[in-house]
A and B are shown apart, each in its own frame.
Chain A
Amino acid sequence: SQTIHQWPATLVQPVGSPLSLECTVEGTSNPNLYWYRQAAGRGLQLLFYSVGIGQISSEVPQNLSASRPQDRQFILSSKKLLLSDSGFYLCASGLGESYEQYFGPGTRLTVT
Chain B
Amino acid sequence: LAKTTQPISMDSYEGQEVNITCSHNNIATNDYITWYQQFPSQGPRFIIQGYKTKVTNEVASLFIPADRKSSTLSLPRVSLSDTAVYYCLVANTGTASKLTFGTGTRLQVTL
Contacts and interface: CB of A to CB of B under 8 A. Distances in A.
Secondary structure of the A contact surface, majority rule: strand
Contact of B104 (A43, A94, A101, A104): A43
Given A57-B96, A88-B41, A106-B41, A101 B46 contact: yes
Interface stretch (B12-20, B62-70, B75-83, B87-95): B87-95
Contacts of B101: 36, 43-46
A103 interface: yes
Contacts of B97: 32, 94, 96-99, 101
A102 B74 CA distance: 22
A51 B96 CA distance: 6
Interface residues of A, number: 31
A44 B104 CA distance: 10
A51 B98 CA distance: 11
B49 interface: yes
* Best-surrounded residue of A32, A43, A50, A94 (most CB of chain B within 10 A): A43
A49 B98 contact: yes
Is the interface on chain B under 10, 10 to 19, 20 to 34, or 35 or more residues?
20 to 34
A87 B53 CA distance: 38
27 contacts: A32-B97, A34-B98, A41-B103, A43-B101, A45-B101, A46-B98, A49-B96, A51-B95, A51-B96, A57-B96, A94-B97, A97-B97, A99-B32, A99-B46, A99-B49, A99-B89, A100-B34, A100-B46, A100-B49, A101-B44, A101-B46, A101-B97, A101-B99, A102-B46, A103-B43, A104-B43, A108-B41
Interface of A: 4, 32, 34, 36, 41-46, 49-51, 57, 59, 88, 90, 92, 94, 96-106, 108
7 shortest interchain CB distances as A-B pairs: A103-B43, A97-B93, A44-B101, A43-B101, A100-B46, A43-B103, A99-B34
Interface of B: 32, 34, 41-46, 49, 87, 89, 91, 93, 95-104
